[in-house]
Amino acid sequence: MADLLDLTIAELRRFLDKGEITATELTGLYLDRIGSVDGKVRAYVTVLEEGALEQAAKADKIIKQGDASPLTGIPMGIKDVICTEGVPTTCSSKMLKDFRPPFNATVMERLNGQGAIMLGKLNMDEFAMGSSTENSAFFATRNPWDLNRIPGGSSGGSAAAVSARMCVASLGSDTGGSIRQPASNCGVVGLKPTYGLVSRYGLVAFASSLDQIGPITRCVEDAAILLEAVAGHDNRDSTSLPRPVPMLRDSCREGLRGIRVGIPAEYFIDGVQEEVVSEIKNGLKVMQEMGAELVDISLPHTEYAIATYYIIATAEASSNLSRYDGVKYGFRAVNYSNLMEMYRETRAQGFGPEVKRRIMLGTYCLSAGYYDAFYKKASQVRTLIIEDFKKAFEECDIIASPVAPTTAFKIGEKVRDPLQMYLSDIFTIPVNLAGIPGMSMPCGFDRKGLPVGIQLMAGHLREGILFRAAYSLEKGLGLDRVWPLN
């Protein structure tokens, strides 16, 4: 039998349905793996051994009855920004250290409905604010390919856990690249869906017009399986799109012939690591050899994306995080003499430096006399970025680019330089501003053996063509399925 820890969702489905392994046995293997490896990687904030085995026993009964869904019995990890009933949901923050939600997020209801198994909750940058998972209030997560390097962020725990084979797949959230950037750094597949395709109900908010839940998996087909499971309209989320769930696995079989791939000049600029560019260009060559047409395009307002994002995202964060005041739930300071002091001390002690920085930036941008100069202007530039993508997709079907300017950098290398850290997301942020789908998938390695990801983007609600292109490229590249920490 193949090493079960190496198998994908689709492969495990066959083993489980044939009775060659039970969900209980599979879950036990993954819990053992967490026990042996997570002391090095530190991807999990909470491990749910007892609960996972109880879910596995229920999954085994469903499988025996012949009623298994695609995810029945599949062990998964969940980013700790997604509400899980009765299970700590901390956002890797002191502010929510002891918070146990009284309800499940919609995505959790859908995973539970399919009989998926939750192994635990995964580490992240506090309140999803960061690009390295060094901003967690608890500990930094490490990249399984090099334990001295960051896994990316903010869904660093989610990507590291899949890469280190501590879960079959995971859910992350993406506000400015928080799924795709860590997926690239850890050599796995990460997808930010079209805004509104997956319900945000039960996702602890950072920037509500940008946040989106998405899958992190070992291969493109697994991402399609997981997205099909969690997507769909939800009337508890006012931004949820009233669209049927797309049948994405079918798109994976259609090939690349006739697809026009746009190459944006603004994404291949000075300062991008040479090996990143060479691996991306090799991926483009493979796509061309498989029948795709390469088209030069321009996204002229890309240079304003970082500034636009850090006005809109921080402004929305300032508003969303005002609820953490020490009154209703979450952390409350102990020593205070009046109500205002309680507010002040609670927020000063409960939030970490990066969260405080973004709250202050956002509050400033929304303050009297500055709203028009900053937030209104940023919203107007966002519209220009959306129009850039619309025009580009008149000339091409998908757009290809680097995910990040470099491969994973060393822990501590950029943590004291916020601007350099923010620039890690320069190629992913425009996707969130435009609300379109974007995927990171492995396309090679640099000379140090660190993974390089290629980013594929498609038009609004065009996940089908995105999966078609990504699946074909994955097969065309034919990268050996090798995992770190064997």
DSSP string computed for 415-464: TT-HHHHHGGGTTTHHHHHHT--EEEEEEEE-TTS-EEEEEEEESTT-HH
Lookup: tokens for 154: 């903010």
Q: What is the DSSP string of 262-294?
A: EEEGGGS-TTS-HHHHHHHHHHHHHHHHTT-EE
Residues in the chain: 486
For position 2, what pLDDT does the model report? 53
Token pair 């079989």 in the structure block, residue: 253
Output the CA angle 59-118-161, nearest 5 degrees. Answer: 130
Catalytic residue list: 79, 154, 178
CATH class of 4-253+437-477: alpha beta
- The DSSP call for residue 166 is S
**327: number of Cβ within 10 Å:** 12
Q: Residue 189 in 3-state DSSP?
A: strand
Work out whether the CA dihedral 49, 53, 56, 58 comes out positive or negative.
negative
Q: Does residue 238 have a cis bond before it (omega within 30 degrees)? A: no
431 contact partners, CB below 8 Å, separation of at least 6: 177, 180, 192, 437, 438, 455, 457
Prior bond to 319 cis, omega within 30?
Answer: no
Beta partners for residue 294, in sequence order: 261
Q: What is the pLDDT of residue 24?
A: 98
Give strand pairing partners of 76: 118, 169
Is there a contact between 198 and 212 (Cβ–Cβ < 8 Å)?
A: yes
Strand partners, 216: 170, 190
CB 17 within 8 A of CB 462: no
| pLDDT string in tens for the chain (486-residue length) | 459 999 999 999 999 999 999 999 999 999 999 999 999 999 999 999 999 999 999 999 999 999 999 999 999 999 999 999 999 999 999 999 999 999 999 999 999 999 999 999 999 999 999 999 999 999 999 999 999 999 999 999 999 999 999 999 999 999 999 999 999 999 999 999 999 999 999 999 999 999 999 999 999 999 999 999 999 999 999 999 999 988 999 999 889 999 999 999 999 999 999 999 999 999 999 999 999 999 999 999 999 999 999 999 999 999 999 999 999 899 999 999 999 999 999 999 999 999 999 999 999 999 988 888 999 999 999 999 999 999 999 999 999 999 999 999 999 999 888 888 998 999 999 999 999 999 999 999 999 999 999 999 999 999 999 999 999 999 999 998 889 988
Other beta carbons less than 10 A from residue 289's beta carbon: 10
pLDDT of residue 287: 98
Name the E strands within 75-188: 75-79, 117-122, 169-174
Q: How many CB atoms sit inside 10 A of residue 377's CB?
A: 16
**Dist. CA 93–CA 286, nearest whole Å:** 43
Do 10 and 222 touch, CB atoms closer than 8 A? yes
Q: Is 187 left (phi over 0), alpha (psi -120 to 50) or beta?
A: left
Across the chain, how many H-helices and E-strands are there? 16, 11
DSSP 138: S
Opening angle at CA 36, ends 34 and 37, nearest 5: 65
C-alpha–C-alpha distance, residues 420 and 218, integer Å: 29
399 forms beta bridges with 262, 457
Phi, psi of 173 (to 5 degrees): -135, 150
C-alpha closest to that of 277 among 259, 290, 263, 257: 263
Q: Are strands 169-174 and 75-79 parallel, antiparallel or unpaired?
A: parallel
- Return the pLDDT at 1: 41
Q: Alpha-carbon distance 247 to 243, whole Å?
A: 12
